[in-house]
Structure 1
Amino acid sequence: MLSKPSNLKPVNAQTYSINCNGRLVQLDIPKIMGILNLTPDSFSDGGKFNTEKLALKHAEKLLSEGAEILDIGPQSTRPNAEFLSSQEEIQRIGNIISLIKKEFPEVLISLDTFYAETVRFGFNEGVDIINDISGGQYDTQMFNAAAETGLPYILMHVNPSYESMHEKIKFDDITLEVNRYFSQKTTELLQKGVKDIILDPGFGFGKTVEGQMKMIHEVEYLGFAKFPLLIGISRKSFIYKPLGKSSLDINEETQKLHMTVLEQGAKILRVHDVAQAKETLDQFLQKK
């Protein structure tokens, strides 16, 4: 295994800001991103929030519990999920983005999609951040759309095709492999003119349990401290399956891991259970 470069700065020594539609958002204090799935088939909350009324109610709950970003997902990316076209995603979103923006004008909205067309629709509806699980690999126009809109772009590590998304790959050194990917993709994005990039190591996507636990403890080395890190481990199987538990019964274990990544400089936690994550964040801030 390659040793880690000795001249690396830990991520938590860095300060970051992102430009969200002209609003400069500082990430010196980590932020909580609450998950709002508009899907009928997501693995733990499918069908619970897929109407305007239910989505607004859940958005209010997430924000009251401490979320500053809402991540709106029109398509499930769990194994064997229904595959939607961009047009089907847009139909599923409907007026929900604009309604949430009208009701909660201060909220930041992230749109979870791998389609450029959905991004352009979302931009016109008022979204602030692009959350692309595909790293631009499932739609060749995605990086162009990110550059055109000027929105911050969340770059996730994932296998190169939709069909191989969840194929488990055992890397010799997963941290090194993820950093190679980040280096290549961030270079492409910067060349396209994307100015604000957030890195997501892609927990739950095509990685072994052992690989993901290794990443948890090497978060400070991911991305070489050049870009802010988003960590999304909420209700992921690499936590609950080895314990013989369900996705809804691992809060204590998840919060311990959240503390671990916060201590290594994670700037955004993407979570289903906002209140519990906020408690962990508050404990982390008190320790600083």
Structure 2
Amino acid sequence: MNCNGRLVDLSKPKLMGILNLTPDSFSDGGKFNNEKNALKQAENLLKNGATFIDIGAQSTRPNAEYLKADEEIRRIGNVISLIKKEFPESLISLDTFYADVVKFGFDEGIDLVNDISAGQFDSELLSVVSKTGLPYILMHINPSYESMHEKIKFDDIILSINRFFSEKLLELNHKGIKDIILDPGFGFGKTVDDQYKIIDEFEYIGFGKYPILAGISKKSFIYKPLGKQPNEVEKETLDLHLKLIEKGAKIIRLHNPETLKL
């Protein structure tokens, strides 16, 4: 995978550490939304094994505040360029569904785009990603921001995800986006049972050509059925992470990379 001129070997799984620049994230909101704390957390993620740092300025949990692109840019500020200056070996993923934020992030030095919307929330996003030449994370999700958390009754969740990917990959390839990572979209519009089915049948997702990312860290389908809080399911999450890696996951997106030694 070509990350802004740097080749990344995904033959062995890699970790993507989460850096939330939000005051309202469900797990760590407000901890890292200033430059000093963001830099410290970036250092912590890298020291504990993260290859990628995934920076997001908008929470996408249910009932979160909806932000426009200019507010995301304001929240990000100089964080990307500061991390790049302090940790030039870092690879930065930008978690956004806005074309203007991708443009800003590209100028600041990002290495890949993590878009939860599959290009559905901003009609200009995929064209901008194509112009940057950056790798793109394609996630399975409902078709609009308003519906992204609506639980859908799938006859076969794996078949539905693969059909979605097949249609979207045609669009991405047509636009010239070449380096693509697939994400089945844990936590977005899926029942608890369906999400465990995705884990159980993870090896059947995708088409053997694209690396798959799994983002289950602190998701409610793990902790809520157990009557626990997001920070109380480290062992359960570790077991699921190991299972996902065994079934072919190439990138694990998580809050605490120190819990998973690869």
Q: State TM-score, norm by structure 2.
A: 0.99
SS in structure 1 at match of 2:207: helix
- Matched residue of 1:190: which SS? helix
What is the aligned residue count?
Answer: 262
Match of 1:245 in 2: 228
SS at match of 2:253: strand
Asked whether the 8 Å contact 1:75–1:84 carries over to 2, the reply is: yes
DSSP-derived class of the 2:232 partner: coil
- Structure 1 residue aligned with 2:180: 197
What SS does structure 2 have at the residue aligned with 1:120? helix
Letter in 2 for 1:165: M
Aligned residue in 2 for 1:36: 19
Partner in structure 2 of residue 54 of structure 1? 37
- The alignment partner of 1:225 has SS state of coil
Please give the secondary structure, in 2, of the residue aligned with 1:206: coil
Q: Match of 1:255?
A: 238
Deviations 1:60-90 (A, max 9, x none): 1111111110000010000111111111100
Give the one of 90, 101, 110 matched to 2:73.
Answer: 90
The equivalent position to 1:112 in structure 2, one of 95, 109, 114, is 95
Q: Which amino acid aligns with 2:64?
A: A
| CA distance in structure 1 between the partners assigned to 2:190 and 2:260 by the alignment | 24
Distance 1:165 1:34 in 2: 23
2:15 counterpart SS class: strand
Quote the sequence identity (%): 68
Map 1:1-288 → 2, pairs under 5 A: 18-278=1-261, 281=262
2 CA distance for matches of 1:176 and 1:145? Answer: 29
Aligned-residue offset at 1:22: 1.1
SS in 2 for 1:169: coil
Q: For the residues of structure 1 that align with 2:80 and 2:26, how far apart are their CA atoms?
A: 22
CA distance in 2, matches of 1:186, 1:219: 19
Contact 1:170 1:211 in 2 (8 A): no
Deviation at 1:105, TM superposition (A): 0.2
Corresponding residue SS for 1:224: coil
CA distance in 1, matches of 2:54, 2:101: 14
Distance in 2, matches of 1:167 and 1:50, equals: 29
User: Is the Cα–Cα contact under 8 Å of residues 271 and 277 in structure 1 kept in the other structure?
Assistant: no
Q: Deviations over 1:212-256 (max 9, x none)?
A: 000001111101212000000000000011111111000101011
User: 1:64, 1:165 → 2: CA distance?
Assistant: 34
Distance 1:224 1:218 in 2: 13
Cα displacement (A) at 1:273 = 1.2
Between the aligned partners of 1:125 and 1:195, the Cα distance in structure 2 is 22
The runs of 5 or more residues in structure 1 that have no matched partner are 1-17, 282-288
- Write the deviation string for residues 187-210 of structure 1: whole angstroms up to 9, x where unpaired: 100110001000000000000000
TM-score, normalised via structure 1 length: 0.90
Cα distance in 1 between the residues matched to 2:172 and 2:42 = 31
SS in 2 for 1:182: helix
Which contiguous aligned blocks of 4+ residues in structure 1 show a shift greater than 6 angstroms? none
Given that 1:119 and 1:130 are in contact with CA atoms closer than 8 Å, whether structure 2 keeps it comes out as yes
- 1:142 Cα offset (Å): 1.1
Counterpart of 1:269 in 2: which secondary structure? strand
